[in-house]
Structure 1
Amino acid sequence: MSRKIPPISSKLPVLMHGADYNPDQWLHDPRILEEDIRLMKLANCNVMAIGIFAWAALEPTEGTFTFEWMDRLLDTFAENGIYAWLATPSGARPAWMSEKYPEVRRVEANRVRNLHGLRHNHCYTSPVYREKTAIMNSKLAQRYGGHPAVIGWHISNEFGGDCHCEYCQNAFRDWLEKKYGTLEVLNAKWWTSFWAHTYTDWNQVESPAPHGESMVHAHNLDWRRFVTDQTVDFCKHEIDAIRGANSDLPVTTNMHLIEGLDYRKFADILDVISWDAYPTWHEHQDDSELAATVAFYHDLFRSLKQKPFLLMECTPSLTNWQPVSKLKQPGMHRLSSLQAVAHGSDSVQYFQWRKSRGSSEKFHGAVVDHVGHEHTRVFKDVAELGQTLSDISKIVGTTTRAETAILFDWDNRWAIKDAQGPRNMGIHYERTVLAHHRAFWEEGVAVDVIGSEDELSPYKLIIAPMLYLCREETGRKLEQFVAEGGTLVTTYWSGVVDEHDLCHLGGFPGPLRKTLGIWAEEIEGLYDHDRNGVALSPANPLELTGTFESHEICEMIHTEGAEVLGVYTDSFYAGQPALTVNRFGDGQAYHMATRMKSDFLQAFYSKLIKQTGVARAIDTDLPQGVTAQVRTDGVTDYLFIMNFSGKMTQVSLDDQCYTHLDSNEFLKGVIELPVNGIELVKRSAN
Structure 2
Amino acid sequence: MINERKPKIWYGGDYNPDQWEKPVWDEDLRMFKLAGIDVATLNVFAWARNQPDEDTYEFGWLDEMMDKLHADGVGVCLATSTAAHPAWMARKYPDVLRVDFDGRKRKFGGRHNSCPNSPTYRKYSVRMADKLAERYKDHPGLLIWHISNEYGGYCYCDNCAAAFREWLRKRYGSLERVNRAWNTAFWGHQFYDWEDIVPPSSLSEEWRGPNGRTATSFQGISLDYCRFQSDSLLECYKLEYDAVKKHTPDIPATTNLMGAFKELDYHKWAKELDVVSWDNYPGLDTPHSYTAMMHDLMRGLKDGQPFMLMEQTPSQQNWQPYNSLKRPGVMRLWSYQAVARGADTVMFFQLRRSIGACEKYHGAVIEHVGHEHTRVFKECAELGRELFELGDALLDARVKAKVAILFDWDNWWAVELSSGPTVALKYVEELHKAYDALYKANIAADVVSLEADLSGYDLVIAPVLYMIKPGIAQKLEEYVSAGGTFVTTFFSGIVNESDLVTLGGYPGELRKLLGIWAEEIDALLPSQSNTIVVRNPGDGLQASYACGMLCDLIHSEGAEVVAEYGEDFYAGMPALTVNRFGNGEAWYLATSPEAAFLQDWLPKLCASRGIAPLVASAPEGVETTVREKDGTSYLFVLNHNAEAVSVALGVQSGVDMLSGRNLSEAAELAGRDLWIVKLDR
Deviation at 1:60, TM superposition (A): 1.7
The 1-side partners of 2:540 and 2:579 are apart by 16
Question: Helix, strand or coil: the match of 2:345?
Answer: strand
Preserved CA contact (<8 Å) 1:302 1:344: yes
User: Could you say which residue in structure 2 is the equivalent of 1:410?
Assistant: 409
1:666 positional shift: 2.1
Residue in 2 that maps onto 1:176: 168
1:137 alignment partner in structure 2: 129
- Superposed displacement of residue 662, structure 1: 3.4
1:472 deviates by 4.2
Q: Does 1:451 align with 2:449?
A: yes
- Structure 1 residue 9 displacement after superposition: 3.1
Of 209, 223, 226, the match for 1:224: 226
User: What is aligned with 1:17?
Assistant: 11
1:280 and 2:283 are equivalent in the alignment: yes
Change (3 A) 1:241 1:129: same
Letter of the structure 2 residue corresponding to residue 271 of structure 1: D
Identify the match of residue 193 of structure 1 among 185, 189, 192: 185
Aligned to 2:211: none
What is the CA-CA distance between 1:614 and the residue it aligns to? 2.2
Deviation digits for residues 522-581 of structure 1 (CA, Å, limit 9, x no counterpart): 1111111111111111278x6634111112111110001100111111111111111111
1:624 is aligned, of 620, 626, 638, to: 620
Distance 1:657 1:433 in 2: 33
Q: Does 1:395 find its partner at 2:397?
A: no
Give 1:320-335 correspondences, 5 Å limit: 320-335=318-333
The letter of the residue matching 1:60 is: P
Aligned equivalent of 2:593, options 574, 580, 596: 596
In the aligned structure 1, how far is the partner of 2:642 from the partner of 2:407? 30
Q: Confirm or deny that 1:659 pairs with 2:659.
A: no
1:470 to 1:614, Cα distance in 2 relative to 1, 3 A: same
Structure 1 contact 403–615 (Cα < 8 Å) conserved: no
2:636 — aligned with what? 640
Q: Partner residue of 2:422?
A: 423
- Residue 537 of structure 1 corresponds to which residue in structure 2? 535
Unaligned runs of 5+ in 2: 207-216
Amino acid at match of 1:378: V
1:198 offset after TM fit, Å? 0.6
- The alignment's TM-score, normalised by the length of structure 1, stands at 0.95
Given residue 401 of structure 2, which amino acid in structure 1 is its aligned partner?
A
Question: Counterpart of 1:363?
Answer: 361
Identify the residue that residue 523 of structure 2 maps to in structure 1.
Answer: 525
Q: Which residue in 2 is equivalent to 1:552?
A: 549
Letter of the 1:628 counterpart: T
- 1:141 and 1:247 in contact (8 A); partners too: no
Shift of 1:496: 0.3
Cα gap change, 1:57/1:472 in structure 2, threshold over 3 Å: closer, same or farther?
closer
Measured in 1, the distance between the counterparts of 2:95 and 2:44 equals 22
Q: Is contact 1:467–1:494 with CA below 8 Å preserved after alignment?
A: yes
The equivalent residue for 1:568 is 565
**Kept in 2: contact 1:440–1:447 (CA 8 A):** yes
Report if the CA contact (8 A) 2:494-2:506 is conserved. yes
1:101 aligns with 2:97: no
1:586 paired with 2:583, answer: yes
Distance, in Å, in 2 between the alignment partners of 1:462 and 1:475 is 13
Q: Which of 71, 78, 81 lines up with 1:89 in the alignment?
A: 81
Residue equivalent to 1:676: 672
> 3-state DSSP class of the match of 1:369?
coil
Structure 1 Cα separation of the partners of residues 602 and 167 of structure 2: 43
Quote how far apart the aligned CAs of 1:648 are. 2.7
1:445, distance to aligned residue in structure 2 (A): 1.9
Q: How many Å separate the matches in 2 of 1:539 and 1:357?
A: 61
Q: 1:565 to 1:634 in 2, by over 3 A?
A: farther
Which amino acid counterpart does residue 420 of structure 2 have in structure 1?
Answer: G
CA RMSD of superposed structures (Å): 1.4
Q: Structure 1 residues 477-486 or 101-110, which shifts more?
A: 101-110
Secondary structure of 2:48's partner?
A: helix
Query: Would you say the 8 A contact 2:3–2:10 is kept in 1?
Result: no
Q: 1:249 aligns with which of 247, 251, 268?
A: 251
* Partner Cα separation in structure 1 for residue 470 and residue 12 of structure 2: 46
Distance 2:575 2:386 in 1: 49
2:322 aligns to what SS in structure 1? coil
CA distance in 2, matches of 1:247, 1:141: 10
Say which SS state the counterpart of residue 650 (structure 2) adopts: coil
Secondary structure at the counterpart of residue 604 of structure 1: helix
- TM-score with structure 2 setting the length: 0.96
Of residues 382, 385, 404 in structure 1, which corresponds to 2:383?
A: 385
Q: CA deviation at 1:247?
A: 4.3
- The aligned amino acid for 1:158 is E
- The match for 1:115 is 107
- SS of 1:654's partner is strand
Q: One-letter code of the match for 1:409?
A: D
* Native 8 Å contact 2:617 2:649 kept in 1: no
1:589 to partner: Cα distance = 0.8
Distance in 1, Cα, partners of 2:364 & 2:36: 15
State whether residues 643 and 675 of structure 1, in contact with CA within 8 Å, keep that contact through their aligned partners in structure 2. yes
Give the SS at the match of 2:386: helix
Measure how far apart 1:104 and its partner are.
Answer: 0.7
Q: Quick one: which of 497, 500, 503 aligns to 2:498?
A: 500
CA-to-aligned-CA distance 1:88-135 (integer Å, 9 cap, x gap):
111011111111111111112333211001011001111121111121
Contact 2:103–2:202 (CA under 8 A) maintained in structure 1: no
Query: Alignment partner for residue 149 of structure 2, among 157, 177, 187?
Result: 157
Is 1:64 matched with 2:56?
A: yes
- Check the 8 A contact 1:565/1:580 in 2, yes or no: yes
Question: CA contact under 8 A between 1:472 and 1:511: conserved in structure 2?
Answer: no
Match of 1:676, SS state, is coil
**Alignment check: 8 A CA contact 1:443 1:627 kept:** no
Equivalent residue number for residue 348 of structure 1? 346
Match of 2:273 among 270, 273, 285: 270
Q: Which residue of 2 aligns with 1:470?
A: 468
Which 10-residue stretch deviates more, 99-108 or 664-673?
Answer: 664-673
1:386-413 C-alpha deviation (Å, 9 max, x unpaired): 1121222310110111211111100100
Aligned counterparts of 1:14 and 1:525: Cα–Cα separation in 2 = 52
**C-alpha contact (below 8 Å) 1:439/1:598 kept by paired residues:** yes
User: Which is worse superposed, 40-49 or 102-111?
Assistant: 102-111
Give the C-alpha shift of residue 201 in structure 1.
0.5
Q: How far did 1:173 drift?
A: 0.4
- How many Å apart are 1:68 and its aligned residue? 1.1
Cα deviation for residue 430 of structure 1 reads 1.4
Does residue 318 of the first structure (1) align with residue 316 of the second (2)? Answer: yes
- 1: CA distance, partners of 2:485 / 2:548: 25
For residues 345-402 of structure 1, the C-alpha deviation after alignment (integer angstroms, 9 at most, x for no partner) is 0111111111111111011101101110000000011111111212223101101112
Cα deviation digits, residues 208-246 of structure 1 (max 9, x gap) = 020212311110000000111111111000111112234
Which residue of structure 2 aligns with residue 45 of structure 1?
37
Task: Give the number of the structure with larger relative contact order, counting CA–CA contacts within 8 Å between residues 6 or more apart.
Answer: 1
Whole-Å Cα distance in 1 between the matches of residues 408 and 150 of structure 2? 20
SS at match of 2:287: helix
Q: Which runs of 4+ in 1 moved over 4 A?
A: none
Q: Deviations over 1:640-686 (max 9, x none)?
A: 1112244431111211231111354421232222322212211145x
- Work out the CA distance in 2 between the residues paired with 1:487 and 1:391: 42
